[in-house]
Amino acid sequence: MAPLAAAGLLLSARGRDWLVGRGLKLSDDAAELAFRPSTLAPTFGDREVTPLDRFPVNSYLTDDPEVELDAWRLDVTGVVQRPGEYALDAIRSLPKVVQNTRHICIEGWDVVGNFGGVRVADFLAHVGADPDARFVEVECADDYYESIDMASARHAQSLLCYEMYGAPLPRAHGAPLRLVMPTKLGYKQAKYIVGLRVTDVLTAKRGYWEDRGYSWYGGL
């Protein structure tokens, strides 16, 4: 009777959801265990960079939520010593990193882009993030949302990106600020960022696509 019971479980919607959830959890746990913070993603020469006009644009709601760039502020909350609203100039004042790294979409395409910005780790140090905090939650102007494990957020190639190809970040690619994380799939790299929350406990909203069945860890 055991095989029949198992088959009955799989045929039910609840059974399928449970099985998929368990599989995703095992996959996330394995990916997190395999992650090495000191291991860098591949970087590329300028001649290998995909032209900007061939860099695909994927949008959750719209290609441009029409952020008022002059009035934009990044709202920083959670377990930080210096919460508050940070203008783009305050972020630009931190050490700048420029890198040519690969962006990989879960849909099956990838490109090499040129990105400039501040390391997430440097910004977290700037706002006095609790060194023992486990997660960073991200809020976006187009109502997208995301969350990231702290080890990935502090990776040396994880950027709060405000430039692409030596120019201010284009609106279609997330202006004025987006995440660039070459250790993660594209859907983890939120655009149009307006809020960062440093926390030990994730809210019920773990990520727009993750709440619809995608892997939460999203690692490469």
Residue 154 — pLDDT band, cuts 50, 70, 90? very high
CA-to-CA dists, residue 213 to 46, 98, 175, 216, angstroms: 36, 33, 27, 9
Domain boundaries along the sequence of the chain: 1-34, 42-212
What is the C-alpha separation between 133 and 154, in angstroms, rounded?
Answer: 11
Which positions ≥6 away from 75 have C-beta within 8 Å? 84, 85, 139, 194, 195, 196
Q: Alpha-carbon torsion 47, 171, 188, 156, what sign?
A: positive
Query: Average pLDDT of 129-148?
Result: 97
Query: What confidence tens digit (pLDDT) does each residue in 178-206 have?
Result: 999 999 999 999 999 999 999 999 999 99
Query: What confidence tens digit (pLDDT) does each residue in 54-113 have?
Result: 999 987 776 789 999 999 999 999 999 999 999 999 999 999 999 999 999 999 999 999
What is the C-alpha separation between 76 and 111, in angstroms, rounded?
Answer: 31
Which among 179, 174, 163, 172 has a CA at the least distance from the CA of 218?
179
Pairing of strands 193-199, 159-164: unpaired
Query: What confidence tens digit (pLDDT) does each residue in 14-62 have?
Result: 665 555 556 666 767 667 777 888 999 999 999 999 999 999 998 777 6
Say yes or no: domain 42-212 is CATH 1.10.10.10: no
